[in-house]
Amino acid sequence: MSTQPADARVVVIGAGIVGNSLVYHLAKLGWKHIVQVEKGPLPNPGGSTGHASNFIFLTDHSREMTNLTLDSVDQYKELGVFTQSGGIEVARTHERMEELKRRMASSRSWGIDAELITPEQVKAMVPYIDTDIILGGFSTPGIGVVDSLRAGTIMRERAQELDALTISPMTEVTGIDVEDGHVTRVRTDKGDFDADIVLIAAGVWSPRIAAMAGAEVPLTPAVHQMISVGPVPLFEDTVGEITYPIVRDMDTNMYERQHGGDLEVGSYAHRAILMDADEIPSIAESKLSPTELPFTQEDFDLQMEQGLELVPDILGDERVGIRHAINGLLSLTPDGMPILGETPEVHGLWVAAAVWIKEAPGIAKMVAEWMTTGQPEIDPHGSDIARFHAHQTAREHVKARSAEGFNKTYGIVHPAEQWESNRDVRLSPFNHRERELGAMFFETAGWERPFWYASNESLLEEYGDRVMPRTAEWESRWWSPIINAEHLAMRDRVGMVDLSAFVIFDITGPGALAAVQAIAVAQMDVPVGRVVYTPLLNEAGGIKSDLTIMRLGRDQFRVVTGGAHGMGDKKWFRDHLPADGSAQLSDLTSMFTTVGIWGPRARDVVASATSGDVSNEGFPFGTARSIELGGIPVLASRISYVGELGWELYVPMEQGARLWDTLWEAGQPHGIVPFGIGVYGTTGRLEKGYRAHGAELDLEFDLVEADMLRPKVKEADFIGRAAYLEQRSRPPVATLSTLTVDDNTSASGVERYMLGREPILTLDGGPITDAKGRRSFVTSAGSGPSVGKHILLSYLPPEYAVVGTKLLVEYFGERYPVTVDVVGSTPLFDPDNSRVRS
């Protein structure tokens, strides 16, 4: 941050729940010159906040979103605008009942008080429900409703009391000036405001405002239909806004909630009705408000019938009228997550958009911390605006994925579920080869990546029960035993894998070494030709990322990182390059393609196609250099994410097919198999205990806890060094451990296999919480075909982080015995790493 909070001039655009929460949190953190611009009148300017249903359910399968929601509830309570009502998600189908068990597990993992209840128990709490059509419910007492407009007013007033805020309502933004890539001014119809920082919290209008500065905010306004019926005779004698728990009718994508004398019925089941930000009417043109569009009855007909089924006593009452019906606008994004952070296009231009009432104050606090110190307490990487690859901001992509995601709002979404729309965007040069081999493609960052190959089906016979076949439908979905067969063949012989989704960029120039030294934890002043795996930290010592860097020349470092988080990593490097221009970043992602080859016979395969020295002495582990392979120069890097001898091989994109064919032919005598990301990302990785960013690694854990310490801390300064030294000086409050399931058999005799995020419990079924208040849960889960066990990774507090400790894991409402096999990063398979170094 070039400017100190007390001096910086900040313009916050928007006075909905997000903008209001932000001016408060910024003021609280010491920002002084805040101008809040709002085109509508206060306190209800006409955006999505004004017509929100304002209820808060606590449990989400995402830990980040759940933590933000819990923090928001605390804030709403402190503001005095929260009314606790309880809430129940009801199930009409057996499949939904199973999903409610999964939500129960997530609640336990994130520390939320909840329980599964019978239809009779639902009826006792919500007497107007027809229990004949439900099988049960998932009840969370801590659920409630808020007055989001009142909350906004209080927060603006608090910012004013701190003498930090000037509010300019009825003021329309007409332009944002950018000079030398940095925002300088906000133009409005009431005059201009000079600005060092501009924060767009304009909800559905955010794309339009950001475009004025040349930045992309890939969200789309979308309709959420809601009706309000009343007067409900049953509610006549109730006091206040809400007495009865809010009901979510999950199977119909609907909710029913009391609002004074009325019942509000909302839906996420209707067809996706998307708009463009430029199509939203002005305040003057709107009958109600710009985000309350005329109700389209035909889209809601089915919902009325379904609502009538669940709540016949109220909705079937002829005296109860539909008093209000709107097509309310809200914001949808292509991946369903908010859009937060500084835009990659313009320095000083921040965005906080696509945020729901339930998480807004928590998000505002997180963004304010991020703006102030760069160190938010809750990790924002899943919501970081920098996460989007270019094609993901394209209008067609945003619309297609938002439409597809809309009906998943209350959906049963498998953790590996694939998007159907807008596929085949980024294809590797071997794509047609992979299709011929019957690849099952999963998408990452737009890349189509084989997860397994139908051509390997014959391996199933070869390995029999060692492939750990699954019979339960849930964990057989988006999975194949072929993955485990590929794993075993790779460990026995040799396999090749498409790694084209890497994000690759070079840091070059006379200041390159100093630049990467300042960012990486690992020593980067290494001989040319070395490959270094390193974490990156933020100033607070939270784990920002982990990646590999090759030193290719005195002044040239090649950074290779995963497609999913690579864009955020790129922004991190770019933001921390020296101001004097002595180091440059160039993105080579679309220039190079990568094939990995690993297994005991990898050297034999490569040696047969090259004249170069690939012996262990001639090409040791942790080095990279160019070799000629099948007549083309290939950058070979001897590292491994699956724990085997082998290389990552980089070639220019147009030579990728040639490389693939060379390896394929050379590999035939050695029994080479193509293998997919199922092995690379899960089975191979977990057997080796390799940590993955976003699963084990994020800002909320540190390197001591992840057991990723180097013996020594380098002398050179780097981001987070002081915090890292401090972390090393004290014992960890939790340590990442490898557990295996002792018995996978369920009560009904089916073998069950956890997929991740499940709670780890003590033998008496109690939750495990570390000294920082974090629950123990499964960060990654998957088969370990070579060890014959189902593997779970989890952070455990010291009293449980002891090899041999017996614990439980909860999965779909049942508990399975597990054993702590490894504390720390020692691999379960090949613990002394002899295979990688052979």
Partner 1 sequence: MNILVCVKRVPATAGKITLTADDRAIDTRYLGFTVSPHEECAVEEAVRIVEAWGGGTTTVLTLGPEEATDQLREAMAVGIDKAILLGTDGGEWGAVATATAITDAIRTREAADGPFDLILLGNEAADTGDYQVGVRIAVALDRPIVTGVKGLEVGEGTVTARREAPGGGWELYEIPRPAVVTVKEGINLPRYPSVPGRLRARKKEIERVALDPAAAAPSMIRLRVPVEKESAVEILGEGPEAAPRVVEVFRRLGLIA
Of 214, 233, 281, 788, the one binding partner 1 by CB under 8 A: 281
286 near partner 1, rule: CB under 8 A: yes
For partner 1, give the closer residue by CB, 275 or 716. 275
User: Cβ distance 636 to 624 under 8 Å?
Assistant: yes
Q: Which of 237, 318 has the CB closer to partner 1?
A: 318
618 binds partner 1 (CB under 8 A): no
DSSP string, 566-634: HHHHHHHHHHTS-TTS-SEEEE-TTTEEEEEEESTTHHHHHHTT-SS--STTTS-TTBEEEEEETTEEE
Q: Which CB atom, from 229 or from 552, has the smaller least distance to partner 1?
A: 229
Choices 171-179, 301-309, 356-364, 405-413; region in contact with partner 1 by CB under 8 A = 301-309
Q: Does 585 bind partner 1 (CB under 8 A)?
A: no
Task: Examine residue 575 and tell whether it contacts partner 1 (CB under 8 A).
Answer: no
The nearest distance, CB 294 to partner 1, in angstroms, is 3
Q: Catalytic pick from 25, 51, 224, 381?
A: 224
Q: Which of 308, 425, 653, 733 binds partner 1 (CB under 8 A)?
A: 308
Question: Residue 142 or residue 307: which is nearer to partner 1 going by CB?
Answer: 307
> How many residues of this chain interact with partner 1, rule: CB under 8 A?
26
Burial of 398 (0-12, 13-18, 19+ CB in 10 A): buried
581 binds partner 1 (CB under 8 A): no
- Hey, CA dihedral for 238, 244, 248, 252, is it positive or negative? negative
Stretch that binds partner 1, among 292-300, 477-485, 580-588, 760-768 (CB under 8 A): 292-300
**Cβ contacts of residue 295 below 8 Å, gap of 6+?**
225, 227, 325, 326, 327
CB of 292 to partner 1, least distance (A): 10
Nearer to partner 1, 318 or 580 (CB): 318
Q: Which residues in the 239-268 window bind partner 1 by CB under 8 A?
A: none
Length of the chain, please? 838
Number of H-type helices and E-type strands within the chain: 21, 40
Sequence-distant (≥ 6) Cβ neighbours of residue 631 within 8 angstroms? 658, 662
Near partner 1 by CB under 8 A: residue from 47, 119, 136, 307: 307
Closest CA to 808 of 764, 771, 770: 764
- Nearest CB to partner 1, comparing residues 305 and 462: 305
198 vs 310 by CB, closer to partner 1: 310
| DSSP string across 683-702 | IHHHHTT---BTTTBSTTS-
Is 278 one of the binding residues for partner 1 (CB under 8 A)? no
Piece of the chain touching partner 1 by CB under 8 A; list 275-283, 488-496, 501-509, 779-787: 275-283
**In degrees rounded to 5, what are phi and psi of residue 18?**
-75, -50
Q: Tell the smallest beta-carbon distance from residue 260 to partner 1 (Å).
A: 16
**Distance between start and end Cα atoms, the chain:** 47
Minimal distance, residue 316 CB to partner 1, in Å: 6
Q: Which among 508, 518, 595 has a CA at the least distance from the CA of 557? A: 508
| Interacting positions 42-81 with partner 1 (CB under 8 A) | none
816 part of the active site: no
Which residue is associated with the tokens 């193509």?
674
The reply to whether 320 sits near partner 1 by the rule CB under 8 A is yes
Burial state string for 590-606 with b = 16 or more CB within 10 A and e = fewer than 16: eebbbbbbbbbbbbbbb
The answer to whether 192 is a known catalytic residue is no
**Is residue 282 close enough to count as binding partner 1 by CB under 8 A?**
yes
Q: Which residues contact 31 (CB under 8 A, 6 or more apart)?
A: 5, 6, 8, 10, 164, 372
Which lies closer to partner 1 via its Cβ, residue 312 or residue 612? 312
Residue tagged active-site, from 128, 244, 255, 800: 255
Closer residue to partner 1 (CB): 30 or 281: 281
Neighbours of 241 (CB within 10 A): 16
Give the containing element (helix H, strand E) for 371: helix 360-373
- Shortest spacing between CB 46 and partner 1, in angstroms: 12
Distance of alpha carbon 259 from alpha carbon 164, whole angstroms: 35
Give the type of residue at 735.
T
Q: Which of 115, 161, 276, 305 binds partner 1 (CB under 8 A)?
A: 305
Q: Which among 379, 546, 707, 821 is annotated as catalytic?
A: 546
User: Is 295 near partner 1 (CB under 8 A)?
Assistant: yes
| Beta pairing class for 735-741 and 632-637 | unpaired
**Which residue in the set 120, 163, 236, 279 belongs to the binding site for partner 1 (CB under 8 A)?**
279
In the bound state with partner 1, the residue whose beta carbon lies nearer, of 13 and 314, is 314
Quick check: helix, strand or coil at residue 188?
strand
Report the distance separating Cα 13 and Cα 40, nearest Å.
Answer: 11
- Applying CB under 8 A, the span of 146-154, 311-319, 384-392, 521-529 interacting with partner 1 comes to 311-319
Q: Could you tell me which stretch among 98-106, 181-189, 276-284, 757-765 binds partner 1 (CB under 8 A)? A: 276-284
Q: How many CB atoms are located within 10 Å of the residue 298 CB? A: 8
Residue among 194 and 276 whose Cβ is closer to partner 1: 276
Q: What are phi and psi of 512, to 5 degrees?
A: -65, -45
Tell whether residue 26 is a contact of partner 1 (CB under 8 A): no
Cα 143 to chain center, whole Å?
Answer: 24
Contact stretch for partner 1 (CB under 8 A) within 93-101, 137-145, 274-282, 708-716: 274-282
Closest CB 321 distance from partner 1, rounded Å: 2
Closest CA relative to residue 171, chosen from 149, 195, 193, 154 = 193
Active site residue 546: yes
Binding letters toward partner 1, positions 221-240, x by CB under 8 A: --------x-----------
DSSP H or E run through 648: strand 646-652
In 3D space, the residue among 733, 736, 753 whose CA is nearest the CA of residue 818 turns out to be 753
Residue 175 C-beta-side C-alpha neighbours within 13 Å: 8
Interface stretch with partner 1, choices 279-287, 557-565, 619-627, 808-816 (CB under 8 A)? 279-287
User: Which residue stretch of 18-26, 142-150, 303-311, 555-563 sits at the interface with partner 1 (rule: CB under 8 A)?
Assistant: 303-311
Q: Which of 30, 127, 321, 669 binds partner 1 (CB under 8 A)?
A: 321
The residue (of 41 and 817) whose beta carbon lies closer to partner 1 is 41
539 contributes a contact to partner 1 by CB under 8 A: no
Q: Tell whether residue 319 is a contact of partner 1 (CB under 8 A).
A: yes
Cα–Cα distance for residue pair 322/328, rounded to 1 Å: 16
Task: Kindly list the residues in this chain that would bind partner 1 in the complex (CB under 8 A).
Answer: 229, 279, 281-282, 284-287, 293-295, 297, 301, 304-305, 307-308, 315-323
As annotated, the active-site residues are 224, 255, 546
